[in-house]
Amino acid sequence: MSADVFAKKRRNSLALFLLIGAATAVSIIITEFSIAKGVTSVPKAIQWSLSNFYPTKDSLAKLPDILIKLKETLLISVAATTLAGILAFVFAILGSNTTRVNAFFGGFSRGVAVLFRNIDVSIWALVLLFSFGQSSLTGYFALFFGSFGFLTRAFIETIDEVSCSSVEALQTTGASYLTVISQSVIPSAIPQMISWVLFMIETNIRNATLVGLLTGSGIGFTFNLYYKNLSYDIASLVVITIIISIVCIELISNYVRRVIL
């Protein structure tokens, strides 16, 4: 009997490995990926970056310009995440099973969240480019919509997790809906929600670079400009400033998370 179980287990994992192998082979064919070229390009890229991709003394002259763009990008990411968090909070209250007003609003807000979450920021960026042009607002709204979907989902799960019993307890005492929200849901869910917002800010700073590349604004555009001009020394300076700011923000948010959770 036990031999059977092991044989079945082995058969199952063999089938799974074959399936993954086949899927990998198919993917290699349709994407025209060449393993040999992939393997050789890694040392080539390292060699290239060691000989070209570092800032020189001349490129430091561009540092003030880069820092201005970086500041703009960071502010856009923070502002987009904060406002998306507020809107997501409203939708999460309506969408969570413990706090929703009625089934219709519950389903509606969950549906909106699914739609927004699955449309990537790159799509938003390309669409918003039509109406906002090459301004900071294009990036702002792209990040805003992208964060909104993700945060709504995260907040719904947080509220469901933390506030089931305390909400019921308050409801039995006859507390009004707003009292329940402000006295029970917000206090018990806020550490988790701030943690999600901080995570989203980190993600958004990376996304802001991408959005900037696509829409011609912020730090992404600055990188693209120097990269396309083959001024790799300045482009590398841009990358270094991005790394420093993301690592700093990660350290800050890790610290805050440790204190509040």
What region does 12 belong to: left with phi over 0, alpha with psi -120 to 50, or beta? alpha
Q: With beta carbons less than 8 A apart as the criterion, state whether 202 and 124 touch.
A: no
- Judged by beta carbon, residue 47 or residue 165, the one nearer other proteins is 47
Residue type, 177: Y
Residue from 44, 161, 177, 229 binding other proteins (CB under 8 A): 44
- Judged by beta carbon, residue 60 or residue 243, the one nearer other proteins is 243
Residues numbered 98 to 157 that lie near other proteins (CB under 8 A) are 114-115, 117-123, 126-137, 140-141
Residue from 1, 4, 5, 31 binding other proteins (CB under 8 A): 31
Q: With beta carbons less than 8 A apart as the criterion, state whether 141 and 128 touch.
A: yes
Min CB(178)–other proteins separation in Å: 19
Min CB(10)–other proteins separation in Å: 14
- Judged by beta carbon, residue 36 or residue 61, the one nearer other proteins is 36
Q: With beta carbons less than 8 A apart as the criterion, state whether 82 and 121 touch.
A: no
- Judged by beta carbon, residue 137 or residue 171, the one nearer other proteins is 137
- Judged by beta carbon, residue 84 or residue 94, the one nearer other proteins is 84
Min CB(137)–other proteins separation in Å: 6
What region does 32 belong to: left with phi over 0, alpha with psi -120 to 50, or beta? left
Min CB(174)–other proteins separation in Å: 26
Residue from 30, 50, 61, 178 binding other proteins (CB under 8 A): 30
- Judged by beta carbon, residue 171 or residue 257, the one nearer other proteins is 257
Determine if 78 is a binding residue for other proteins (CB under 8 A): yes
Question: How distant, in Å, are the alpha carbons of 55, 56, 125, 209, 238 from that of 219?
Answer: 16, 19, 15, 6, 8
Residue from 7, 14, 41, 67 binding other proteins (CB under 8 A): 41
Q: Work out the angle between the directed axes of helices 186-215 and 232-260 (0-180°, nearest 10).
A: 170
For residue 97, which of 165, 160, 188 has the smallest C-alpha distance? 160
Residue listed under structure tokens 């059977």: 4
Q: With beta carbons less than 8 A apart as the criterion, state whether 211 and 143 touch.
A: yes
Min CB(250)–other proteins separation in Å: 7
Judged by CB under 8 A, how many residues of this single chain contact other proteins? 77
Residue listed under structure tokens 């507390």: 175
- Segment near other proteins (CB under 8 A); pick from 24-32, 99-107, 158-166, 173-181: 24-32
Q: With beta carbons less than 8 A apart as the criterion, state whether 95 and 113 touch.
A: yes
Residues numbered 190 to 229 that lie near other proteins (CB under 8 A) are 190-191, 194, 197-198, 206-207, 209-210, 213-214, 220, 223, 227
DSSP labels for 216-230?
T-HHHHHHHHHHHTT
